[in-house]
Structure 1
Amino acid sequence: MSRTSGLSHLHRGLISRVDKAIREYRLIEPGDRVLVAISGGADSIGLLTLLLDTRYLADWRLELVPVHLHMGFREPDHEGLRALREYIQRLGLQLRVYESQIGPLAHSDFNRANPCFLCARLRRQRLFEIADELGCNKLAFGHHRDDVIQTFFLNLLYSREISTMVPKQDFFGGRFYVIRPLYYVDKGWLQRFALEQGLPVFDSGCPSTGHTERDRIAARVRELTRGDPRLYENIFKALHRVKLDYLPRQIPGGFR
């Protein structure tokens, strides 16, 4: 009997896509100790669950270290954290919780124009510090395919560059790697999976939720691709078929 025979069609499909990303981009290698950043949302809790499933089914040799960094938007959700701790304990792991005031700092008066950028940067910086303390060489984030597409448009329209999130990215000369095992997974699938599995999802309390540039880009992408699901898939695939010969390049010695 197959090890996946008792799993739902959605569950098996998600495991397959996570395994595909791991194999194609060598996200995981023997002996890795991976910090899994758990925000409390469906994406990150689903990521931890699927990494454990994939580790078991594919016999990946790695150690997973789930970490929740409280952002300080409000008092900790003790009930939500209790449910999350219990869930992770049932998975055979221990959740580590760290306090911070990153959220209020990023949303303070001096930075109201762009709180999300500073918040994400400070959060990642703190997670690198925690990874170093815990002896982790990789950090797994719950970014999914929707995030990849939205980041492409955000960078195109607001940063005037053609770039996006990548499945694997090194920092500090390869001392740490950020990996995104949900690279091939759509957000909608993760939301369905959270409902199906009864994942203990809770809200971070971020006041910008639903009002960010990313939220506005997400709405525009939905409008752009509405009625033809091929368009969404085509945008993602286009990121892997870049024809540099058909993009302008500065010619050395050319006139300005």
Structure 2
Amino acid sequence: MSRELTPQEIAERSLIKTYRKSLWNPFVAAVKRYELVSPGDHIAVCISGGKDSMVLAKLMQELQRHTEQPFSLTFLGMDPGYNMENRALMESNAALLGIPVEVFESDIFDVTTKVEKNPCYLCARMRRGWLYAKAQELGCNKIALGHHVSDVLETTLLGLFYGAQLQAMMPKLHSKNFPGMELIRPLYCVHEDAIIAWKNYNHLRFLQCACRFTEARDASGDGIGQSKRQEMKVLLRQLKETNPNIEKSIFRAIHGVQLDTFPGFKYRGRPHSFLENYDGTAYCEDI
């Protein structure tokens, strides 16, 4: 008689079997394509308690089991000011899934709830700083965040529609303020829909953002509220109804930017004009 699998074993098996094409394969593709993991790395996988960071943690565990280039993992959870129920949910999910998370506390929610302008941006920046500092203290050289391809596309549209710039989200970055530290995004090629499907398949319930701004969005009736990112998410969903390949097109576009078709661009914060090289051979009509 075969042994009944635990919830952890079912979740792990579903990653590399049921959702192999939609989760495991694109995850491995991103790790290889963008050279996110190197032998000897000590990576802090940052756990917020949400679905994205939890599936990232499980995928990183699987990668560690199957790789021929060994690296170390630390699962780092930050409590930015969760209530007791949300903190307990994060910790119980980690225990259920076999993620040995180390939780530390910060006062980020106390600070950001007093800010009216761009509180989500401030929250993200503060979270990043706390995570870098704690990871570095623990001897890590990288932090891994759970941003997925849907986040990449939404960020691109936000920059275009509200920031007056063509700007994407990078798969990895060096830290300016924490020398020797690097940020990686191993879910860069994974779609949010696949993460949601895995979550539902395993009957899991994870944290949302758990702050007052998310609560206001959920109570708005349109599912958007004042969240511009949520507005982009809804817009992409609407565009997919008439163009199922819209997300793939945007993703490919940010990998193939044709600079010689733009009248201006910035590199490392410095503006450049096409006029700088106009009298050379860079700008010629091909007729």
State which of 246, 264, 271 in structure 2 corresponds to 1:231.
Answer: 246
Equivalent residues of 1:144, 1:182 under 8 A apart:
yes
State which of 240, 244, 248 in structure 1 corresponds to 2:263.
Answer: 248
Tell me the residue number matched to 2:102: 96
The alignment of Structure 1 onto Structure 2 pairs a total of residues equal to 246
**Superposed CA offset, 1:107-136 (max 9, x none):** 21xx21211010000000111111111111
**What is the TM-score with the length of structure 2 in the denominator?**
0.79
- Partner of 1:135, secondary structure, is coil
- 1:252 Cα deviation from its structure 2 partner: 4.4
**Superposed CA offset, 1:67-100 (max 9, x none):** 1111115346353134134235x3xx52111111
Closer/same/farther in 2, CA of residues 207 and 170 from structure 1, 3 Å limit: same
- Partner of 2:117, secondary structure, is coil
Q: Answer with 1 or 2: which has the greater Rg.
A: 2
Tell me the residue number matched to 1:86: 95
Tell me the residue number matched to 1:218: 233
Closer/same/farther in 2, CA of residues 13 and 216 from structure 1, 3 Å limit: closer
Letter in 2 for 1:160: A
State which of 71, 92, 106 in structure 1 corresponds to 2:112.
Answer: 106
Q: Using the aligned pairs only, state the percent identity.
A: 30
State which of 178, 186, 211 in structure 1 corresponds to 2:191.
Answer: 186
State which of 55, 60, 64 in structure 2 corresponds to 1:51.
Answer: 60
Tell me the residue number matched to 2:152: 148
- 1:198 Cα deviation from its structure 2 partner: 4.2
The CA distance in 2 between the partners of 1:232 and 1:204, in whole Å, is: 24
Closer/same/farther in 2, CA of residues 7 and 21 from structure 1, 3 Å limit: closer
Equivalent residues of 1:102, 1:119 under 8 A apart:
yes
Tell me the residue number matched to 2:74: 65
The CA distance in 1 between the partners of 2:125 and 2:58, in whole Å, is: 26
- 1:225 Cα deviation from its structure 2 partner: 2.5
The CA distance in 1 between the partners of 2:125 and 2:207, in whole Å, is: 22
Closer/same/farther in 2, CA of residues 98 and 35 from structure 1, 3 Å limit: same
Structure number with the bigger relative contact order (C-alpha 8 A, sep ≥ 6) is 1
Equivalent residues of 2:44, 2:73 under 8 A apart:
yes
Tell me the residue number matched to 2:8: none
Letter in 1 for 2:195: L
State which of 104, 108, 116 in structure 1 corresponds to 2:120.
Answer: 116
Tell me the residue number matched to 2:47: 38
Equivalent residues of 2:15, 2:24 under 8 A apart:
no
1:134 pairs with 2:150: no
**Superposed CA offset, 1:198-247 (max 9, x none):** 44623442121234211112112222232321122111111111111101
Equivalent residues of 1:41, 1:203 under 8 A apart:
yes
RMSD, aligned α-carbons: 2.3
Unaligned regions of 5+ residues in structure 2, if any? 1-12, 218-224, 265-272, 279-287
User: Which moved further from structure 2: 126-135 or 54-63?
Assistant: 54-63
